[in-house]
Structure 1
Amino acid sequence: MNIIILFIIGCISGFVLFTKVCLTNDDVFFIKKHKVSVIIPARNEEKNLPFLLESLKKQTYKPDEIVVVDDFSSDKTGEIARRYGVKVIQNPPLPAGWTGKNWAVWNGFLNSTGDILVFLDADMRLAPRALEVLIKTREKCAGAISVVPYHRPERFYEKLSLIPYLLGVLAFTSPFERKNPVKSLYGSCIVVSREDYEKINGHYSVRDEVMDDMTLGKRFSQAGINVENFIGYDLVYFRMYPNGIRSEIEGFSKSAVLGMINLSRSTVALIALWFIGVFLAEFVTPLLILTRHPLIWPFLVGYIMYTLQIVYFLKYVGDYGKIIPILHFLSTVFFVAIMIYSTYQVSFKGCVYWKGRQIQVRSRRGL
């Protein structure tokens, strides 16, 4: 019975962490008040960029300008952007003390003119009313907002991201993070006024940070600017890693350990409780089935409990099909491997890798 109690506590921890903070898609008439600039840093994004630019063409609330920063792409990223008639900036050479994305975003800002800045990763895709809702939501919050997108993986290796991505969502919807006076942001989709961005000196203030989005949110909070996070659900979504499993491993491993460092202890404790329950249910249950152990039923019940909870979360978080949500232990194996690799990079090598660049982290984190 003790193991059942552990599974129940674990599931409760998951429900405490998950909050349905969806963007509100209302029909209230909205008068355009500001000039809006969409800024997109892009490095080798020929497979993603057309989807984003096509979705921006279909917005009910048209942006005044779209700035794509071609960050030394070796593919057709720049050519595709020009084909859509947007403003294309060739990113200057990366100076010492900057990470690649921060430098690209900063130069995108310097070449923009809008009163409202919408920072979007190139893998983002927007429903037709998304930009309108984002602008409305930012005005209501009177500060900076970010959105954790709904994930739509397509290939099998992409769907292995279920557990690490779900844990990331739980971290951002955690009530302890939402009530934290110093909040983080999710970097794939950030909306802020130019005035507030300039007040903290924008990405220049986080130029050497790997977790630039989380630190940027804290800079806003410390400056007295309200920060709020939402989940994209049916308005804001993305496909993170269409370029192969290597990019997926690099993407998750660069932030797995450093992301946890930036969370409150209460959030980390609840995530740990949830994950311990999942891990035990996933890997003890098969052993008990094979050995026909009498404890098989409590563990089987635990596996079913977690599976149903994961399916519920995915209704709001991502479309992972039918197989991986049931066989979620495959994603847990992937997550454990990612954590080991991320720990090795951060603690022993002092650097992480992303899109062909080596990013130093030892000196910044004191590791």
Structure 2
Amino acid sequence: MTDATGIVAWIGAALAVVSMALLFARLRRLPRQDTASGELPRVSIVIPARDEEQNLSRLLPSLGRQTVPPHEVIVVDDQSSDGTAEMVQTHGARLIRGRELRSGWYGKPWACHQGVEASTGDWLLFLDADVELEADALERLLSAAAAEPGAVFSVCPWHRIERAYEELSVFFNLLMVGGIGAFTWRGDQATGIGLFGQTFLVSRKRYGELGGHEAVKQTVLENLKLAKKCEELGIPRRCFVGRGSISMRMFPGGYREMVESWAKGFSSGAALASPAALLLASLWLTGLMMVTVCVFLLVVWDARVMVGAAYLAVAIPTAILFRQVGRFSVVNALLFPVSLLFYQGLFAVAVMRKRKKVSTSWKGRHVD
């Protein structure tokens, strides 16, 4: 049994490392480009905001520090109960008082739709309120748009970790990045490439062709549904990770907020993910679980050297990968079974809730 446990651990390690390498083979950051010789597009920034006073206190000042200023910044106050409106006015952005949620719509698409109605830019940049931009981030995004005006662009922000419970988000983050299928070994040649919802840049012309947010008005992960429409129309998608350009602090409200946030998108995310990326992600998690189970078996069977070596063979590249998507600690990577089991447990709960048709709430609204 000792030898068998060690062999299974190494099979799991090999499966995890190979599938991880294929899934994240072409992780790329937003490039820096020379913009001296070209005119950049006029961009309207649209920010849907429901009780986002704290987050806007970081995002709006970061927009004011951009090396290339936006044409306009529009914040749609979606029936907030905090000081969202006052924060917007303090920082000089344009405030849109969101109308009552229309029947058949979810909150975020409805707020984005209203923001677009009020905008005048040639390009539209949709930002979640919890992101923050480095000074040259907008210039880099618009440079990419100017170089390929027919494409749409999205960035998954780098996750700023400030409290210990946020470390548990790491596999959710990684599967969000890997699941869109933009960073596999096939790169931009892959089919079914998705889009990130936190930072989404599209020309007004392309936005109209996609049907705008009205086409995804009752979708939890509207970014993935818009990506499907891009695929149908042959519109290229260009995706990046945000390290060094765009970051986010997702869950300042505590552990419960984190659990509710990740739980609301499980089913929709799996259904809309790239099939190839979903397969690789499944193999990766399977390999990690095989190693994890073998570690627990050491309580009964003695295969410390073989299992320990397999464990390190997984933990080291995992630590490197963790840092590509957020400020996740080395300790988190070395103890990856903890975050992995948290992910698996929450996934199981979300699936059971879906089968029992238990509605998930987010900020006081039902989302499925």
Same fold, TM-score > 0.5, yes or no: yes
Q: Distance in 2 between matches of 1:93 and 1:297?
A: 62
RMSD: 1.8
1:103 aligns with 2:110: yes
State which drifts further: 189-198 or 314-323: 314-323
Change (3 A) 1:33 1:149: closer
Q: Which residue of 1 aligns with 2:3?
A: none
Q: Which residue of 2 aligns with 1:184?
A: 194
Provide the secondary structure at the position in 2 that maps to 1:39: strand
Q: Distance in 2 between matches of 1:175 and 1:74?
A: 46
Change (3 A) 1:202 1:350: farther
Output the amino acid matched with 1:295. Answer: A
Q: Which residue of 1 aligns with 2:90?
A: 83
Q: Which residue of 1 aligns with 2:240?
A: 230
State which drifts further: 178-187 or 255-264: 178-187
- CA distances 1:230-275 after superposition (whole Å, capped 9, x unpaired): 1112111111111111121111111123211212333222111111
Change (3 A) 1:30 1:59: farther
Output the amino acid matched with 1:148. Answer: C
Q: Percent identity?
A: 32
Specify which of 250, 254, 258 is matched with residue 268 of structure 2.
258
Q: Which residue of 2 aligns with 1:6?
A: 12
1:280 aligns with 2:290: yes
1:108 CA displacement: 0.8
State which drifts further: 304-313 or 172-181: 172-181
Change (3 A) 1:258 1:174: farther
Q: Which residue of 2 aligns with 1:171?
A: 179
Change (3 A) 1:178 1:355: farther
1:147 aligns with 2:155: yes
Q: Is the 8 A contact 2:125 2:199 kept in 1?
A: yes
Q: Distance in 2 between matches of 1:12 and 1:234?
A: 27
State which drifts further: 307-316 or 119-128: 307-316
Specify which of 358, 362, 366 is matched with residue 354 of structure 1.
362
Q: Is the 8 A contact 1:281 1:300 kept in 2?
A: no
Change (3 A) 1:175 1:93: farther
Q: Distance in 1 between matches of 2:281 and 2:164?
A: 25
Specify which of 285, 292, 308 is matched with residue 316 of structure 2.
308
Provide the secondary structure at the position in 1 that maps to 2:47: strand
1:278 CA displacement: 1.3
Specify which of 26, 41, 62 is matched with residue 48 of structure 2.
41
Q: Which residue of 2 aligns with 1:363?
A: none
Output the amino acid matched with 1:42. Answer: A
Specify which of 194, 205, 214 is matched with residue 215 of structure 2.
205
1:70 CA displacement: 0.7
Q: Which residue of 2 aligns with 1:137?
A: 144
Output the amino acid matched with 1:150. Answer: W
- CA distances 1:306-361 after superposition (whole Å, capped 9, x unpaired): 2111111123211113332222222112212220222123222153221111123x
Provide the secondary structure at the position in 1 that maps to 2:54: coil
| Structure 2 runs not aligned, ≥5 long | 1-6
Q: Is the 8 A contact 1:151 1:239 kept in 2?
A: yes
1:15 aligns with 2:15: no
Change (3 A) 1:266 1:34: closer
TM-score with structure 2 setting the length = 0.92
- Which structure is higher in RCO with an 8 Å CA cutoff and minimum separation 6? 2
Q: Distance in 2 between matches of 1:63 and 1:75?
A: 26
Q: Which residue of 2 aligns with 1:24?
A: 31
Provide the secondary structure at the position in 2 that maps to 1:191: strand
Q: Which residue of 2 aligns with 1:67?
A: 74
Q: Spell out the pairing of 1:316-335 with structure 2 (5 A cutoff).
A: 316-335=324-343
| Structure 1 runs not aligned, ≥5 long | 361-367
Q: Which residue of 2 aligns with 1:216?
A: 226
- CA distances 1:271-328 after superposition (whole Å, capped 9, x unpaired): 111111212323431440x33x232323222221221111111232111133322222
Provide the secondary structure at the position in 2 that maps to 1:11: helix
Output the amino acid matched with 2:23. Answer: L
